[in-house]
Amino acid sequence: MLTIQDLHVFHGPIEAVHGISLEVEQGKCISLLGPNGAGKTSTISAITGIARSTGLVRFEGRDLSRDSVEARIAAGIAVSPEGRRIFSNLTVLENLTLGAALQKDAAEKAKDTDHWFSLFPILAERRDQSAGTLSGGEQQMLAIARALMARPKILLLDEPSLGLAPKIVRQIFDLIADLKTRGMTILLVEQNATQALKLADYAYLMSSGRIVAHGTADDLGKSDKLMAELTGVA
């Protein structure tokens, strides 16, 4: 569904990712692991078109690498970005409404809002509250729900568990598992390798802008390389 080939990502003159290739198949959950600064977020930014990149980004057979950010989102890519980036000056409901900005049918939009509110009762309770007043975990759920409001074909999740209490982390991973069983295609960026590998069908391990290992979750989970990269013990 999403194919990346020889992707180089740049931040100004700095090259953060040095030619990686990966593949996300329809209905699968693919995990992108790696330590701080490995280039995971840069890769996500290149897929959405936020960061400048060279190489191939093909989505459903179409080359997106020349398309604008907006066009890529319209093609069916949605992202829950690193740091959540909810609109804290808007209410919870307004955040969701913006998530469905491309949905023209008001009835469908209302249906989706109700659906996600029923799945996240805590958000429903705070629908008219400023999103900035939510707790970290609630904000993360809002960020994911906002992305899902777009009814994406693929969901990019950048470190959804970052900085959250273990109980909340479990909730978030349960949610991702639930999305997966509903057939959602997911690219999951995580530092929490243990949890991510439980969910993922296939995983890539990044370090210093390169993919240093990849394989099924089982294979990679057993590999020494993973632990070495993530703990910094070679």
Ligand X SMILES: Nc1ncnc2c1ncn2[C@@H]1O[C@H](COP(=O)(O)OP(=O)(O)OP(=O)(O)O)[C@@H](O)[C@H]1O
Nearer to other proteins, 88 or 216 (CB): 88
**Whole-number minimum distance, CB 150 to other proteins, in Å?**
7
Identified binder of ligand X from the candidate list 7, 22, 33, 34, rule CB under 6 A: 34
Nearest-approach distance from CB 126 to Mg ion, in angstroms: 27
Which CB atom, from 84 or from 126, has the smaller least distance to Mg ion? Answer: 84
Using CB under 6 A, pick the residue from 39, 49, 81, 99 that binds ligand X: 39
Distances (CA, A) of 136 to 39, 123, 131, 169, 216: 24, 12, 10, 11, 31
Q: Which residues of 25-62 are buried (b: 16+ CB within 10 A; e: fewer)?
A: eeebbbbbbbeeebbbbbbbbbbbbebebebebebeee
Q: Which residue in the set 6, 26, 37, 102 belongs to the binding site for ligand X (CB under 6 A)?
A: 37
Residue with Cβ nearer ligand X (123 or 189) = 189
Closer residue to other proteins in complex, CB, 78/211: 78
List of residues contacting Mg ion (CB under 5 A): 40-41, 82
Nearest residue (CB) to ligand X, 95 versus 161: 161
CB of 70 to other proteins, least distance (A): 5
One residue of 20, 22, 40, 205 binding ligand X per CB under 6 A? 40
CB 86, min distance to other proteins, A: 8
Residue 5: Cβ within 10 Å count: 14
Residues that bind ligand X (CB under 6 A): 11, 14, 16, 34, 36-42, 82, 191
